[in-house]
Structure 1
Amino acid sequence: MRREGHAIKLAFTKKPAQNFRLLVFAITSLVFLAADRRGAIGALHSGLDAAVYPLQQLVSAPVRFAGWVQDNLSGYAGILEENQRLKEEQIRLEARLAKFSALEQENIRLRALLGASIKIGEHFLIAELLSVNLVPYEHLVLANKGSNIGVHVGQPVFDSRGVVGQVLRVSPVSAEVMLITDPNHAIPVQIERNGLRTIAVGTGRIDRLILPYLSGSADIREGDRLVTSGMGGVFPAGYPVATVVDISSTGSSLAKVSAEPIAPLDRIHEVLLVWTRTDVQDKVQEGPSPAANGAGGASVQHAPR
């Protein structure tokens, strides 16, 4: 009974203190509300915000750093992807540029050949080279035109600068051309300056011909240009063959004369297959046109033995 009475007594003694605290809190709240409505508490709010701001920044810093890293990584990946795309585009453009450059060079060569064909004034056909054989003692190239369009053995072959050689063998779709530098080839020439006639013979070197049948007293100089003489009936007269580059004495009655072909034989890509007026006349007698059959009117000129 004593314990129960003591508890009741404590309850009655604590209740007024609790009510007092509640009253104090209520009054304080009313005071703050009144002060806030009048704006007097704004300075306190600002001070509290200023005090709390560093803590807010510190708490949000990891989140902001993670976002910054993510943005930078995605931006770097985008830059790498764009860089790779630009590299691929550059390669494609360089390939196209190289193709355009090759086409431009081909166009220049074809224009030069067309100009040469106008100067030649004969019946002609442009042919592309399929293969080149330049071993020391055999200078042959294969052209993509054959007897099915009238190409024949012995037919003269030019490029835009001068004489290249003559047809050695033909098939229906191709022609094998012996270059003038082949050691088995000889071509009648004359010195353009004075009309002196002789024979130019291949040496097996792509950049050299020799004139073995000139006397030591012949009127020939370095720099003289050699042109076809028209002798033999194969090559039309007057077309460039070579330029004299060296003259020396052999100790005998003959001079040692070397000449360099005017046509760049190691760099040609297209050639002119030429039908001379004699060929045309022969073909007219044999058939309807020089391109009708694969017959050959002239034979290949070989170097004298």
Structure 2
Amino acid sequence: MSSSNPTYRLLIALVLAVVLMVLDQRTPWAQPIRYVVGYLTAPAQYLAHLPVDTARFVSRQTQSRGELLEDQERLNRQVLILEQRVQKLAVLEAENTRLRELLNSSASLEGSVLVAEIIGLDPDPNRQEIVINKGAREGVRRGQGVLEAQGLIGQVVEVGPLASRVLLITDASHAMSVQVNRNGVRAILAGTGQGNTLRLLYVPDTADVQQGDLLVSTGLGQLYPRGYPVAEVVSVDHRSGAAFADILARPKAQIDRASHVLLVESKPVEPAPADQDEQGDAPPDMAEEEGQ
């Protein structure tokens, strides 16, 4: 009898298990018990899943760090690209502004105009010259006047098939006829070869020329358009006993910043009346040197 006790107990346990499963499926009476048992078995389930959860967490953290480093590198590349584009846009915007100013200036000029780009500078420090990308193929001729949006720059001195050389008004060998816009006093404006410094030649010490006066082209010699800004008087030195005043001027054109220029054909200027005041005119020999 004692040998059958384990079997008997097993059968009783199986029967009870079957009865409990049937009652659990058919009736809700076991839900409170299952709820309590869930609290008791939760630590065991947590400990059983702890190694797997830990491995997943470590893998996710490692992957997240790698993704963050990759995203950071990608964003750094994008920032560099965007910064380069912003700089390029700034350059294009400044160039468009200069071109608009140039086109606005060309609308007020008489005669035909041609827009050219500056593509080179003369390396000789004793020569103030630039190279433009227009030549004989576009109809450029020697002696043609060259302007920037703010004022005169110089004249063409050498013409090639595809490019031309322009002598700047600041070159020591350049001279041109100008007049004071305020009162019409005429004089010869010559380059000094020293940066943005120009000098008025042979102006009588009694001539009405003041600091801040605007000097405009006269159109004499038919090289430059008449009445276009050339320079601004920056200093007038009346030396005691000297026949002529020492007058310095600064070009109106931004010669060192210009990227595009205008080539113009000037219309002939009507001769001045014989009784017109000649105060401040250049001597005949200097007038022949204009634009050389």
8 Å CA contact 2:175, 2:290 repeated in 1: no
- TM-score, normalized by length of structure 1? 0.77
Displacement of 1:300 in angstroms is: 6.7
The equivalent residue for 2:55 is 66
- The alignment-based identity, stated in percent, is 34
Partner deviation per Cα, 1:206-230 (whole Å, 9 max, x = no partner): 3210113112222110010001122
The equivalent residue for 2:274 is none
RMSD (Å) for aligned C-alpha atoms: 2.7
Match of 2:260 among 270, 292, 298: 270
Displacement of 1:28 in angstroms is: 5.4
- TM-score, normalized by length of structure 2? 0.80
- The aligned runs of 1:47-86 (5 Å cut-off) are 48-86=37-75
8 Å CA contact 2:177, 2:290 repeated in 1: no
8 Å CA contact 2:231, 2:250 repeated in 1: yes
Number of aligned pairs?
A: 268
- The aligned runs of 1:1-305 (5 Å cut-off) are 16-27=1-12, 29-30=14-15, 48-133=37-122, 135-251=124-240, 252-278=242-268, 301-302=291-292
Gaps in structure 2 of 5+ consecutive residues: 269-287
In 2, Cα distance between equivalents of 1:103 and 1:178: 27
8 Å CA contact 2:188, 2:201 repeated in 1: yes
In 2, Cα distance between equivalents of 1:58 and 1:175: 87
**Higher mean C-alpha deviation, range 264-273 or range 28-37:** 28-37
8 Å CA contact 1:124, 1:275 repeated in 2: yes
In 2, Cα distance between equivalents of 1:104 and 1:182: 31
Displacement of 1:266 in angstroms is: 0.4
Displacement of 1:45 in angstroms is: 5.7
CA separation of 1:268 and 1:36: change in aligned 2, threshold 3 A: closer
Q: Secondary structure at the match of 1:264?
A: coil
The equivalent residue for 1:8 is none
CA separation of 1:200 and 1:59: change in aligned 2, threshold 3 A: same
The equivalent residue for 1:287 is none
8 Å CA contact 1:153, 1:299 repeated in 2: no
Displacement of 1:35 in angstroms is: 6.4
Whichever residue aligns with residue 267 of structure 1, its letter is: R
Displacement of 1:112 in angstroms is: 1.7
The equivalent residue for 1:285 is none
CA separation of 1:160 and 1:134: change in aligned 2, threshold 3 A: farther
8 Å CA contact 2:225, 2:265 repeated in 1: no
8 Å CA contact 1:130, 1:142 repeated in 2: yes
8 Å CA contact 1:155, 1:273 repeated in 2: yes
Q: Secondary structure at the match of 2:108?
A: helix
Q: Secondary structure at the match of 2:222?
A: coil
The equivalent residue for 1:288 is none
Partner deviation per Cα, 1:87-140 (whole Å, 9 max, x = no partner): 333433333333333333222222222221221111111111110237542110
Displacement of 1:254 in angstroms is: 2.0
Displacement of 1:268 in angstroms is: 0.6
Partner deviation per Cα, 1:38-77 (whole Å, 9 max, x = no partner): 6788776655543332122122112101112222332333
8 Å CA contact 1:164, 1:180 repeated in 2: yes
